[in-house]
Amino acid sequence: MPKKERIVGVDLGTTKVAAIIAEVDSDDLKVVGVGSTASHGLKRGVINNLEKAVESIQKAVNEASRMSGFKVDACYAGISGSHIESINAHAMIATSRAGGVITKRDIERVIEQAQAIALPLDREIIHAIPIEYIVDNERGIKDPVGMSGVKLEAEVHIVTAAIASAQNIYTALERAGLKVKDLVLQPLASSYSVLQPDEIDLGVCLLDIGGGTTDLAIFYDGAIRHTEVIPLGGEYITNDIAIGIRTPYKQAETIKKKYSTLSLAPEEKKDEIKVAGIGGREDRFISKENLYSIVSPRVEEILMITNKAVKKSGFADVLAAGVVITGGTARLQGLAKLAEEITNLPVKIGIPKRLGGLTDIILDPIYATGVGLVLYGHEKKNQTLIKKTKGGGVFDALKKRFEDWFSKYF
């Protein structure tokens, strides 16, 4: 019997590392292993202690491996952090044969050309995703292969990362025994697991509110248009609870998960929550209203900053499918309603789509990125990944322009 193909996603989050192993079963995906462990050595999406990060990865991956009975040696991994930047670039080439048919090679060339941006030495391109093609001034073409035309243009969404941050992820995973097949921007990965194709067509904003960061990705007319990482997440809320009710972070985290809500009914306001005494001190009690008065302004702040970013992106008016919120903080009761009030858009909570296998475990917004990485890997495995560029590309850019000019006229 031929060996079944397996795809592995490793989501290196600020608060947890999740490893998902899926088996490709006649083109369907079946989740066969899930491992999740508290992550150490990461802050706001960026590795700050390599050794601890390696240990966390090993723990999550070993758990998933044991569950599935398979050894894991390669994965798709997520990347996030405020070092991430994105731009939409435009490129133009003369097609290979005048008046001829546009080939796959032409597509590769125009996307390579779009990547020929002046990139600082310390940055690299992690994604170059075509938004649309323009053939002889005809806009809005999704797949021009086979069409006739002499001039091919492309709008390409380019995501760049700090080389050092990306390299640390490669190193951590390699030391944990995993080859990295591709580094994927976390909200892009999450979009594969929580968004429907019609939402991507209509216009939608995906928000992954995790522990350390809120990752934003805007999709419209079938393509990604804007990405941004906001360095605030659930840890920000927990920190304030810890300060507000004077309790250690760990206990504040437990209280947040167990009792916090953004839709507090009037009759619940005076309900009491026990705050266990530390170091021999007596137990204390706080009211639900007290907790609400700490949590709610922090969440509002995160949503307001996000809303500003959406408005600034220029896509706020085309989001007919509204906002989809995922990530662990999406579990916060009443979040969708509050987000609707702030953004004035319909909001829903994004749960990873149902796959075969261990479905019950992964139907949780904390697994949006991990499951998305597997789905991304499944979709990309048959496509040639477009060559990515590292910094210092100005010379390459000029060289490419010259080559293009040369192939057009000679």
Burial label for 7, CB within 10 Å (0-12, 13-18, 19+), is buried
Between CA 151 and CA 368 the distance in angstroms is: 40
63 in Cβ contact with 36 (< 8 Å): yes
Asked if 13 interacts with Mg ion (CB under 5 A), we say yes
Residue from 15, 95, 113, 193 that binds ligand ATP (CB under 6 A)? 15
The site map against Mg ion for 142-161 (x = CB under 5 A) is --------------------
Between CA 169 and CA 47 the distance in angstroms is: 7
Asked if 372 interacts with ligand ATP (CB under 6 A), we say no
> Which residue minimizes CB distance to Mg ion?
210
Between CA 256 and CA 133 the distance in angstroms is: 47
Residue from 210, 350, 372, 393 that binds ligand ATP (CB under 6 A)? 210
The site map against Mg ion for 357-396 (x = CB under 5 A) is ------------x---------------------------
Asked if 211 interacts with ligand ATP (CB under 6 A), we say yes
Closer to Mg ion by Cβ: residue 199 or 215:
215
Q: Least distance from C-beta 110 to Mg ion, angstroms? A: 33
Which of these ranges, 109-117, 192-200, 279-287, 327-335, lies near ligand ATP under the rule CB under 6 A?
Answer: 327-335
Q: Least distance from C-beta 46 to ligand ATP, angstroms? A: 9
Between CA 379 and CA 388 the distance in angstroms is: 18
Q: Least distance from C-beta 233 to Mg ion, angstroms? A: 8
Q: What is the largest CA-CA distance in the chain?
A: 85
Residue from 6, 8, 16, 206 that binds ligand ATP (CB under 6 A)? 16
- Which of ligand ATP, Mg ion, none has residue 211 at its interface (CB below 5 to 8 Å by kind)? ligand ATP
Asked if 95 interacts with ligand ATP (CB under 6 A), we say no
In the window 257-316, what residues touch ligand ATP (CB under 6 A)?
A: 257, 260
Q: Which residue has the tokens 């000029």?
A: 398
Residue from 52, 331, 390, 401 that binds ligand ATP (CB under 6 A)? 331
Q: Least distance from C-beta 363 to Mg ion, angstroms? A: 16
Task: With both helix axes pointing from N to C terminus, report the angle between 249-259 and 234-244 in degrees, rounded to the nearest 10.
Answer: 110
Residue 207 in tokens:
């928000």
Asked if 233 interacts with Mg ion (CB under 5 A), we say no
Q: Least distance from C-beta 378 to ligand ATP, angstroms? A: 21
In the window 200-229, what residues touch Mg ion (CB under 5 A)?
A: 210
Closer to Mg ion by Cβ: residue 37 or 369:
369
Residue from 106, 124, 253, 404 that binds ligand ATP (CB under 6 A)? 253
Between CA 212 and CA 385 the distance in angstroms is: 29
249 in Cβ contact with 239 (< 8 Å): yes
Q: Least distance from C-beta 284 to ligand ATP, angstroms? A: 21
**In degrees to the nearest 10, what's the CA dihedral of 74, 76, 78, 79?**
80
- Which of ligand ATP, Mg ion, none has residue 144 at its interface (CB below 5 to 8 Å by kind)? none
Residue from 6, 83, 127, 256 that binds ligand ATP (CB under 6 A)? 256
Asked if 9 interacts with Mg ion (CB under 5 A), we say no
The residue type at 179? K
Count other C-beta atoms under 10 Å from residue 270's C-beta: 10
Our measurement of the distance from residue 60's CA atom to the centroid of its chain's CA atoms, rounded to an integer in Å, reads 19
Q: What residues contact 225, with CB distance under 8 A and at least 6 apart?
A: 88, 131, 157, 218, 219, 313, 315
Count of residues of this chain found to bind ligand ATP when the rule CB under 6 A is applied: 24
Between CA 57 and CA 77 the distance in angstroms is: 11
Asked if 366 interacts with ligand ATP (CB under 6 A), we say yes
Going through 186-271 in order, the beta strands assigned E by DSSP cover 204-209, 214-220, 223-230
Count other C-beta atoms under 10 Å from residue 3's C-beta: 5
Nearest to 212 by CA among 40, 404, 8, 406: 40
Residue 243 in tokens:
């300060």
Query: Interface residues with ligand ATP (CB under 6 A)?
Result: 13-16, 45, 80, 210-213, 233-235, 238, 253, 256-257, 260, 327-329, 331-332, 366
Query: Interface residues with Mg ion (CB under 5 A)?
Result: 13, 210, 369
